[in-house]
Amino acid sequence: MMHALTRGIAASVSSGKKVEWVVPLKCDRCGESEGRKVMPSVVTQGGQMTNNATGYDVLLCDICRTGG
């Protein structure tokens, strides 16, 4: 399941529009940004990733998303 932000970006790019981030991309869990792919993720109130809509959305790096 893709987060709504990710779907919106993909739709914009596929229709030929430019997408620009207006805030620094850094992981909300570890705070890192250098050399890491950061993506929007849905989490529970306790901070665990889930595929269900919870109303809690964060940006997580590839390492924090996979638990590494």
Q: How many CB atoms lie within 10 A of CB 26?
A: 15
**For residue range 8-45, what is the model confidence (pLDDT) as tens digits?**
888 999 999 999 878 778 999 999 888 888 888 888 88
Give CA–CA dist 43/58, Å, rounded. 7
- H-assigned helices in 1-68: 4-14, 62-66
pLDDT confidence of residue 17:
95
Q: What pTM was computed for the model?
A: 0.67
pLDDT confidence of residue 61:
92
Residue 2 scores a pLDDT above 70: no
Write down the domain spans for the chain. 23-68
The backbone torsions φ and ψ at residue 58, rounded to the nearest 5 degrees and listed phi first, read -135, 165
pLDDT confidence of residue 6:
77
